[in-house]
Structure 1
Amino acid sequence: MVTEMDTEMDTEMDITALKKFFSVSITYYCYLEYFIFYKVLCKFYFYMNIKLFFSQILIFNIQALSSNKLPSEKFYQKLNVFHLKLSQHYKVCESLNDPYKNVPKIKKLCAKLVSYLKNIYAESKEGNFDCIYCKLLSFWVYGQLLDLFPGNDKEASIVFANFQVIWNDINEDELYKSIKDKCDPYSRIVADPEWKDRKKLYDYCIDHDTFIELSKSDDKICRKYHNHIEQKKELYDKIDKLFSEDRLKCPIFYNKCTGYNPEAVLPKLKCHSKILEEEASSAKKLQSDLLNPTGNSVKTSLPATKLGDVLLGVVVTSMASGAIYRVTTNFIDTYQ
């Protein structure tokens, strides 16, 4: 017979068991919820850090590009940091001769060239691209190879010839048949002892309009580009030789560049007249210091013409004395 006391005890046991069950369940639920939250939080934190990391790289690259304001500097900098779809083009570079196709740095440079030609150049709509940036591309590629083979121009030339084969194959691709001016490599660069001077002159001509504009912003910048232009005077004496092939192939670029003679460009800079005044003042001071090194004025009661006559007399007397001395010495030597 079940008593009232037994019923109460069973009820208390059920309640206790239920409390224990719920307590354990709630505890496990809290642990599970905490674990899920922590895991999601960790993933979110990791994702945000990765995103921040790559955004910083992007910002760095953009800043690096923007800090170089001249077109030629931007072009070379873009090639240096260019990594667009490189992995897709390593296969094309397998056609390089042994052992070059197995050298990582050479293969990467090859992939950069292929990627640039297939992506950037193919999308370019700029006129005379071949006359301007394709020549710079050859300068950049060959310069990179010389850096990879310091003191070994022959090896760099062999690899450049390998690159040319791939470059020409890309030019023959269907994709480029609609482009009027294909991006041809400057094949004679390996036999051109003046390719660096040619590069400097190309850079100068491409940058001309930009540094004229930038020089207006600040006196310091103006002086910087004034000095930059001054250094190109000697190169312009050789412009017909350095740009001989461009006269017919790229007449627009050639005619513009011949008009950028430093003698004609320098007066356009607003700091030019001030620099000339400073140079004239410095030259005058130097002349004064040379004539009067002690800094003390020479006092004389003689007029300038008289002083000149006196100095001339001293010089003539000295010359005569020297001549008499030589004759006397020769006479004595002869009769001794």
Structure 2
Amino acid sequence: MSPQQKFMDFSEFFRKSPKELISEKFYDAMNSDYSDLSKYSQKCNEITVSQPKDKMIEICKKYLRFLENSKIWNEGNPQYDISILLNYWIYENLIGIYGADDNGKINTGFSALQYVWQYYNYTPKIETYHQKCNPNIDVVNHPDWNKRKEFYDYCIDYNTLYVTATNYPNKCEEYYKIIKSKIPLYQYFDQKCLTDQNNCPKFYKPCKPYNPETFIYILPCHSEIQNKEAAANATVGHSPSEKELGSGAHVHGSGLSGIEVGVHDTESTPETTEIGKKVGHSILGVAPALLTATALYRYTPIGSWVRKFGGYSPDSINDTNGGEMEEFLDNTQGSGNTFFGRGENYISYQPL
């Protein structure tokens, strides 16, 4: 590494991320490439994993950068369980390398990172975080892991989504749609946790109050979006009238454009009359199908951490307290920082 290059703290990657939602900013920061990763090459080159090893080495280096060089990790207590986000980041990347069905190689990848976590020579400032950030496949290894990840990500992002949609009209519709898209997730986990509590995510209960169905109707753009959806549904259900389709004198379709079925101005002879009858009968036979296709074509429309990252909540999704990211609170970019200091607008998290 040249003298001009420097180590980038994880919080700096987080702050500079163009993403707006907390979970997305975290994953974006974890994925960031930077020359400082070369510092971890020697240790990560020693890991024993399945091929392609080079991709696993990159994950290892980014994991170590977070582990050692993060002010969040070293100096603070995030208000939600960072280990869940971290383990989902690892798991998703390993699936990207080995595939969702190759549990053996995925387990080997987690084991390699556990080895690195245990034997890498550095001294964490906060031992509890050292324990929490030990890669643990049991946290994320479920058949419905992607739904669980999406559910927890939404739980982390709830404050940002709600406050932004409530206070910024130009973002309301975009965030409204994101919020609404989570309704099936809640229906899924409501049913799952009712019938199989042993497999219910541990974060289900603290995230339950953020069910979109309990508050989506009070968002400022709710009525406008409902009206748009009603109008769109009315258009889909609209049946074309005879006038809209035409009198039937002309049938337009693929290969039949401009063929007339009605009376001709040209002189009729017995021969042409007979041909006309045959052609007329043929066209009339396919006309219903053509008209149906035409109609279908024309008428069917084809928090401490939360506050300091992007929005504060006085309670938390986790039971930890702290002030880990004051150093870049004022610099956070994107919509997440546009309402700093307006704690009165925030709906609080409940502790995990």
Which TM-score band applies after superposition, normalised by the shorter structure?
A: 0.5 to 0.7
CA distance in 2, matches of 1:83, 1:110: 14
Q: Secondary structure at the match of 1:270?
A: coil
User: Does residue 200 of structure 1 match 2:150?
Assistant: yes
String of CA shifts for 1:219-244, please: whole Å, max 9, x gaps.
45221112212221111123354796
1:215 and 1:171 mapped to 2: Cα distance?
A: 45
- The answer (yes or no) to whether the contact 1:201–1:235 under 8 Å persists in 2 is yes
3-state SS in 1 of match to 2:132? coil
Encode CA deviations 1:23-69: one digit per residue, 9 max, x unaligned.
xxxxxxxxxxxxxxxxxxxxxxxxxxx98xx89xxxxx979944211
How far apart are the structure 2 equivalents of 1:173 and 1:215?
42
Alpha-carbon distance between aligned partners in 1 of 2:152 and 2:113, rounded to the nearest angstrom: 22
User: Residue 230 of structure 2 aligns with which residue?
Assistant: 280
Question: Aligned in 2, Cα 1:140/1:221: closer, same or farther, shift over 3 Å?
Answer: same
CA positional deviation for 1:192: 1.2
Q: CA 1:230/1:293 → structure 2, altered by over 3 Å: closer, same or farther?
A: farther
Kindly indicate whether the alpha-carbon contact (under 8 Å) linking 1:128 and 1:181 is maintained by their aligned counterparts in 2.
no
Cα distance between partner residues in 2 of 1:276 and 1:176: 49
TM-score, scaled relative to structure 1: 0.56
Residues in 1 aligned to 2:142 and 2:29: alpha-carbon distance in whole angstroms? 25
Q: How many residues align?
A: 234
AA at the equivalent of 1:205:
C
Distance 1:84 1:237 in 2: 44
Cα 1:147–1:84, aligned 2, differ >3 Å: closer, same or farther?
same
Q: CA deviation at 1:195?
A: 0.7
Return closer, same or farther for 1:167/1:239 CA change in 2, 3 Å cut-off. farther
Partner of 1:221: 171
Q: Using the alignment, how far apart are the partners of 1:186 and 1:233 within structure 2?
A: 29
Q: Which residue of 2 aligns with 1:20?
A: none
Say which SS state the counterpart of residue 185 (structure 1) adopts: coil
Task: Note if contact 1:171-1:184 (Cα within 8 Å) is conserved in structure 2.
Answer: no
* Structure 2 counterpart SS, 1:193: coil
TM-score relative to the length of structure 2: 0.54
Q: Aligned match of 2:188 in 238, 241, 248?
A: 238
What residue is the counterpart of 1:106 in the other structure?
A: 56
Task: Name the structure 1 match of 2:217.
Answer: 267
Structure 1 position 280, deviation (Å)? 2.8
| Secondary structure of 2:20's aligned partner | coil
From 114, 117, 138, give the equivalent of 1:164: 114
In the alignment, does 2:74 pair up with 1:123?
Answer: yes
CA offset at residue 200 of structure 1?
Answer: 0.7
* Aligned counterparts of 1:153 and 1:219: Cα–Cα separation in 2: 45
Give the unaligned 5+ runs of structure 2. Answer: 7-11, 245-352
Compute the displacement of 1:79 (Å): 0.8
Q: Matches of 1:259 and 1:136 in 2, distance apart?
A: 20
Q: CA deviation at 1:193?
A: 1.2
Paired with 2:201 and 2:184, the residues of 1 have a C-alpha distance of 24
Is residue 239–residue 258 contact of structure 1 (8 Å, CA) maintained in 2? no
Code of the aligned partner of 1:145: L
- Summarize the Cα distance change of 1:88–1:286 in structure 2 as closer, same or farther, 3 Å threshold: closer
Q: Report the CA distance between 1:259 and its aligned residue.
A: 0.6
Q: What do you get for the CA RMSD once the two structures are aligned?
A: 4.1
* Paired position in structure 2 for 1:88: 39
Q: Check conservation: 1:65, 1:77, Cα contact below 8 A.
A: no
Counterpart CA distance in 1 for 2:201 and 2:58 is 35
Percent identity for Structure 1 against Structure 2: 28
Higher RCO (CA < 8 A, seq sep 6+) = 2
Structure 1 residues 151-177: Cα deviation after superposition (integer angstroms, max 9, x where no partner): 763433322232233335579977543
Q: Which has the higher helix share?
A: 1
Query: Is this contact kept in 2: 1:135–1:186, CA < 8 A?
Result: no
